[in-house]
């Protein structure tokens, strides 16, 4: 994994960070579920999600150009939101959302791994092997991170290009064999289901925000600024093409039947058994890479929250290069979540968590639009669309499976509130608010020590 301060990052490297963050496992895991909701109009659903990602990337780009930093998301939220407890809640929600993403990646790893071993979705043997692989991959990278090793991170840039190449190869072959009439031969869902289908896959667009954490290592601010738009544009194009190839290659009911590893199933009629294996292998190393990187990053967030009460004064006297407690808490929480919740639950939690975090970023950008040189119209559009999309996602999810999805919503929303209230009292933390950049300015100091 890239170490801050080793070299300056140009447009190519910054764009690779964004693409690598987005194409990490979400598309492999949730494609089938999105198609189940949006039906043959999945390409439109992906486009709607892409539009929201693009508008949010605009807010990030303006923040990063105005104030390059390592604090990233939470620092940008704190710049525009003055309520200390709300910022604390959002920082904890971000950590919980990364735990959900870990669960999603490991779920995808287990699903594709079980399928490659010859087990069929829906069978008892498939479920058993799936959960064995879920637990094994999370514990493996937990121990790797506890030992301080970053094996997957050393080849991260290489993996980004391989992932993109495989997916582009899949889309090119798929376009040559697609049947556009399939879109019109199947029933179309109502508009709010199309939007919900895009929002359930929104977690696959999560990752471009990682570019902001490299702000102090960018070669120049223009490269940092344009990397957001370039990375999101490339990924949106790839995802929309994948969705189009999917619904014009196989009927929706065939895709949904094996939704846990839908992309590999779609590849099989196009490329034969080798296509199934190729996509399966791509899914395995994509999710493995994402698991390693997410444990590393989320473990540091947890350490920041729990070990020192976020901004408690003693943090300046401590060593910040071994957040082992955070790695342990994050990994074990993901093991429990991935083994007890369904793919639909995990997908709802992941997408909603990041929609709410991005809502806060867009709101903050709108509030500070004049200061950071942003368009009030675009930041307002980003704020409204993330809010409306989150509401529609929750409504459709609850209408499809009320009690199960309500449990998922409570699991996402309640723990951050409890942690913020209880831990604030235990740690007795008192955050000092710098005049210029908000209460999380000190995050830069912490990150530099990491």
Residue of 162 and 400 predicted with greater confidence: 400
Of 111-115, 128-132, 174-178, 284-288, least confident by mean pLDDT is 284-288
CA distance 112 to 125: 14
- Average pLDDT score over the chain: 84
Residues 6+ apart with CB under 8 A from 74: 87, 90, 91, 94, 440, 443
CA distance 388 to 410: 19
Looking at 3.40.50.300, 4.10.93.10, 1.10.10.10, 1.20.1740.10, the CATH number of the domain 11-449 comes to 1.20.1740.10
How many alpha carbons fall within 13 Å on the CB side of residue 397? 32
pLDDT given at position 306: 67
pLDDT given at position 448: 42
In the chain, domain spans:
11-449
CA distance 53 to 209: 10
User: Cβ of 226: how many Cβ atoms within 10 Å?
Assistant: 15
pLDDT given at position 325: 78
pLDDT given at position 335: 96
| pLDDT single digits (tens) 385-442 | 999 999 999 999 999 999 999 999 999 999 999 988 887 777 655 544 444 444 444 4
Q: Is the pTM of this model over 0.95?
A: no
For the segment 242-261, the average pLDDT, to the nearest whole number, is 92
**pLDDT winner (highest mean) among 252-256, 281-285, 335-339, 435-439:** 335-339
CA distance 286 to 261: 14
**How much of the chain, in percent, has pLDDT values that exceed 90?**
55
Residue of 279 and 323 predicted with greater confidence: 279
């Amino acid at each position: 994994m890239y170490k801050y301060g080793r070299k300056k990052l140009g447009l190519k490297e910054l764009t690779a960070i964004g693409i690598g963050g987005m194409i990490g496992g979400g598309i492999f895991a949730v494609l089938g579920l999105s198609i189940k909701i949006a039906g043959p109009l999945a390409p439109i659903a992906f486009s709607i999600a892409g539009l929201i990602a693009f508008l949010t990337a605009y807010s990030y780009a303006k923040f990063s150009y105005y104030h390059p930093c390592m604090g990233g998301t939470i620092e940008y939220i704190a710049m525009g939101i003055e309520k200390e407890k709300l910022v604390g809640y959002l920082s904890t929600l971000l950590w919980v959302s990364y735990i959900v993403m870990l669960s999603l990646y490991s779920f995808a790893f287990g699903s594709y791994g079980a399928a490659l071993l010859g087990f069929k979705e829906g069978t008892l043997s498939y479920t058993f092997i799936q959960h064995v692989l879920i637990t094994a991959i999370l514990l493996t990278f937990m121990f790797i991170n506890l030992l301080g090793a970053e094996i997957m991170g050393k080849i991260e840039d290489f993996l980004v290009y391989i992932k993109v190449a495989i997916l582009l190869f899949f889309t090119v072959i798929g376009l040559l064999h697609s049947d556009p009439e399939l879109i019109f031969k199947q029933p179309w869902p109502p508009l709010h289901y199309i939007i919900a289908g895009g929002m359930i896959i929104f977690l696959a667009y999560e990752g471009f925000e990682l570019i902001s954490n490299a702000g102090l290592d960018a070669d120049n601010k223009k490269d940092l600024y344009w990397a957001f738009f370039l990375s999101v544009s490339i990924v949106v194009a790839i995802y929309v093409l994948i969705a189009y190839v999917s619904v014009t290659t196989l009927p929706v009911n065939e895709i949904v039947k094996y939704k846990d590893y839908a992309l590999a199933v779609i590849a099989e009629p196009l490329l034969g058994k080798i296509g199934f294996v190729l996509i399966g292998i791509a899914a395995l190393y994509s999710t493995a890479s994402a698991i390693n990187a997410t444990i590393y990053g989320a473990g540091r967030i947890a350490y920041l929250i729990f070990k020192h009460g976020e901004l408690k004064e003693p943090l300046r006297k401590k060593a910040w290069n071994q957040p082992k407690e955070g790695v342990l808490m994050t990994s074990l929480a993901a093991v429990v979540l991935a083994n007890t919740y369904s793919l639909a639950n995990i997908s709802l939690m992941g997408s909603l968590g990041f929609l709410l975090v991005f809502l806060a970023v867009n709101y903050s950008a709108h509030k500070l639009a004049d200061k950071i040189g942003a368009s009030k119209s675009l930041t307002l559009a980003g704020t409204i669309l993330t809010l409306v999309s989150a509401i529609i996602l929750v409504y459709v999810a609850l209408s499809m499976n009320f009690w199960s999805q309500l449990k998922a919503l409570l699991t996402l929303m309640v723990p951050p509130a409890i942690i913020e209230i209880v831990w604030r009292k235990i740690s007795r933390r008192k955050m000092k608010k710098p005049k210029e950049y908000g209460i999380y300015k000190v995050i830069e100091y912490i990150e530099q020590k990491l």
